[in-house]
Structure 1
Amino acid sequence: MRTSMAMVAATLALLPFAAQAHSPGEHASVQVAQAQTAAPPAAAAAGGAWFPSKYGPNDTIGAMNLLTPQKVLEAVKLVTQGRVYALGVPVGRDTPAYPPRFATVTVMMPDQFAGSIVPSENKVSYADDMFTGWLGVGSQLDSFAHLGIDNTFYNGNKAADFMHTTGVTKLGIEAIPPMVSRGVLVDMARARNKPVLEEGEIITADDLRKAMQEQGVEVRQGDVFLIHTGWVTMLERDPARFGKGEPGIDVGAAEFLAGLGVVAVGADTWGVEAVPFKNPNRVWEGHQVLLAKNGIHILEVMDTRALARDQAKEFLFVLGQPRLKGAVQAIINPIAIR
């Protein structure tokens, strides 16, 4: 039964968005340019064996192994202005999400009916809140337990061995180390000279290489790679359109990014990949390449507007996700600092 429920949940997670799920560059060094235009040597092959992981048969943190103290010190040196950017969006009852996902907050004042207070000389009043919903709503982090290939997840872990309705016993959100690293932003909207890319508009590996060269974006091992498409503006302008499709990368771009040795790939869209899919019979292949084959986390609905407006191409990226035991996703608010 546990396996059946996991399969049902996985199927639901791959459904397209509903309009509303609930009422309620040029300056880069020659060496870097050559590295970024070469074939991705570190990425898992598109076909054939993709496990055990290059980090060992028992590894559970994937590319996060690259986040060494030296990498953190490198990233901290990027802070020269003291500017802080919140990359998460507010999440509420009306945030578009995959059906049947939703998120609600209910506020209560326990045992304080009709204006009564907590028995005390200092007349204490307090409120508590209860969260009801799914953890894959709004700005979110995907763990390696979120998506796999034929019920096999990162490093060959079989769903039947660790996937339970009460929570996963491996690859859960709580076991992901803090993500403190150098972040980079590639502005694909600026690269295509338009404020917002269209739904279904594909970003290929060649597109990324060109934009990186033009914008002087140098990617180093262990970086967090963010893509700005302008799509996040639809959350406010047209929520229904936001949820029906999105611009994004294709599988070749995912393989290219994996080859660069990044620890996470994110975008200002709800799924990072282009939807509608170019081939409707092949869905979420980018997720499979990043999460399952290469142990690279995915960051969705990142609010990259301010970073793009300031043409920030590198920054300190900080994420300490809620350590929800057994969860496969988490609502997050990463911080970029320059």
Structure 2
Amino acid sequence: MKTKQLTKAVVAAGFVLGGIVPVSAQNQKESVSAKADWYPSSYGASDEIGAANLLTSDVVLQAMKLVKLGKTLPLAVPIDKNLPAFRHRSFNLYNIQPGEQAGNTTGPNKFTFNDELVNGWTGVGTQLNGIGHIGINNVYYNGNKAADFVTVEGVKKLGIEKVPPMVTRGVVLDMTAHYGKAIVPGDTEFTIADIQAVLKKQGITLRKGDVVLFNTGWLELIGKDNKQFLEVEPGIGMDAAKWLADQQIVAFGGDTWASEIYPNPTGEEFPVNQFMLAKRGIYNLELIDSRPLVRDKIWQFLFVLGQPLYIGSTQVNVNPIAIY
């Protein structure tokens, strides 16, 4: 199939890097140029980084004051072919030894090496979902229309390579203690009151530029009940999402795969992600392993993330670091 034909086929099917966007025939006919109350962005009509604009030097300096012991902790989960992932996604790694078949070596010093080839989706495992990842009727953050910037070889705007390093305060909210459950039930929607109660209990007040992470115990299901892990999950609803956004956070997420209650009681498909990413430019961090932080009651810490700069991607595997 020729490149142009392939591009048309992919776009028509509703595929966007890292995810699938259902596109009905009716929606395709509808105009996406109608006025909306969520764009242009408050950061400017040409802005491509959304809430990352909040990551000022003052925010960084304040967050650095949280480091008292000099301890570091990775927040990612290991990835292999068995890790459960969203719908169509998969991950396979192959070890290749080019030119070394039959025990061959190179040079008088018998040089050998291992290389790895990955065939997988960037949305498997712990990941940063950029603001170009989720749209509303093919319109994305700051009113960018898919037809204008989405190609089969990546997005021409809102790419993950545009996102600056995230160095800020990380906050983990232990919902397992709040509900008194080692694993929060999958149909649990976190309300504003729930979040405020946990913040009060942990002695935290949210501030501009924070990364807010929820600990639900959901990672305990991996390898034990992968079916349940993917079919449902606890998380914030729309009211809580709006409240969090109004606190001027830069990212939200936690130990689940979508960072919102799923399925949504309204029947809508990932409305919280639509609101946070497309409307407010707030990033999503999925499958964050906060269990060691919770065990040691480390509720706030220096959050550091420098993601791979895959040009044109809207999401990418990451390993954020907590320093405290």
Pair in the same fold by TM > 0.5 = yes
Measured in 2, the distance between the counterparts of 1:189 and 1:255 equals 22
Q: Is the 8 A contact 1:3 1:159 kept in 2?
A: no
Report the equivalent of 1:13: 20
Equivalent residue in structure 2 for 1:99, among 87, 99, 103 = 87
Give secondary structure in 2 for the equivalent of 1:185: strand
Q: 2:301 aligns with which of 306, 315, 334?
A: 315
Task: Measure how far apart 1:235 and its partner are.
Answer: 1.3
Does the CA-based 8 Å contact 1:199-1:276 persist in structure 2?
Answer: no
| Distance 1:192-1:127 versus aligned 2 partners, 3 A rule | same
Letter in 2 for 1:202: E
Distance 1:235 1:53 in 2: 38
- The TM-score normalised by the length of structure 1 is 0.87
Pick from 52, 58, 68 the counterpart of residue 46 of structure 2. Answer: 58
> Structure 1 unaligned runs (5+)?
16-46
Q: Deviation per CA, 1:165-209, whole angstroms, max 9, x where unpaired?
A: 110001011111001101111111111111110112111122111
Structure 1 residues 12, 88: closer, same or farther in 2, change over 3 A? closer
> Contact 1:185–1:217 (CA<8 Å) still a contact in 2?
no
Amino acid in the other structure paired with 1:113? Q
1:145 has 2:132 as partner: yes
Q: Separation in 1 of the partners of 2:95 and 2:215?
A: 35
Distance (whole Å) between structure 1 residues aligned to residue 289 and residue 133 of structure 2:
22
Once the two structures are overlaid, the 10-residue window that deviates more, 95-104 or 5-14, is 5-14
Superposed displacement of residue 3, structure 1: 6.1
Matched, 1:115 2:103: yes
Report the TM-score when normalising by structure 2. Answer: 0.90
| Aligned pairs for 1:230-309 within 5 A | 230-280=217-267, 282-309=268-295
C-alpha displacement of 1:14: 6.3
**Match for 1:279: what amino acid?**
T
Q: Secondary structure at the match of 2:15?
A: helix
* Cα distance in 2 for residues equivalent to 1:236 and 1:309: 21
- Supply the distance in 2 between the matched residues of 1:228 and 1:72 (Cα, whole angstroms): 24
State how many pairs are aligned: 305
* Partner SS for 1:237: coil
Give yes or no for contact 1:185–1:225 (8 Å, CA) kept in 2: yes
Structure 2 residue corresponding to 1:190, chosen from 172, 177, 188 = 177
Q: Could you say if the C-alpha distance between residues 4 and 291 of structure 1 is closer, same or farther in structure 2, counting changes exceeding 3 Å? A: farther
What is the SS of the residue equivalent to 2:58?
helix
2:56 matched residue in structure 1: 68
Structure 1 pair 12/315, CA: closer, same or farther in 2 (3 Å)?
closer
Structure-2 separation of matches of 1:146 and 1:244: 21
* Structure 2 stretches lacking a partner, 5+ long: 23-34
**Deviation (angstroms), 1:228:** 0.6
Alpha-carbon deviations, 1:55-85, whole Å to 9, x = none? 1111111111111112111111111112211
Q: CA deviation at 1:241?
A: 2.1
| CA spacing shift, 1:102–1:168, aligned 2, 3 Å | same
Q: Which amino acid aligns with 2:116?
A: D
The answer to whether the 8 Å contact 1:227/1:266 transfers is yes
Equivalent-residue separation in structure 1 for 2:307 and 2:121 (angstroms): 15
Q: Return the alpha-carbon distance in structure 2 between the equivalents of residues 8 and 49 of structure 1.
A: 25
Using a 3 Å threshold, how does the CA distance of structure 1 residues 290 and 211 change in structure 2: closer, same or farther?
Answer: same
- The CA deviation string for residues 113-141 of structure 1, in whole angstroms up to 9 with x for no partner, is 111111x1211110111010110011111
The CA RMSD measured in Å over matched residues stands at 1.7
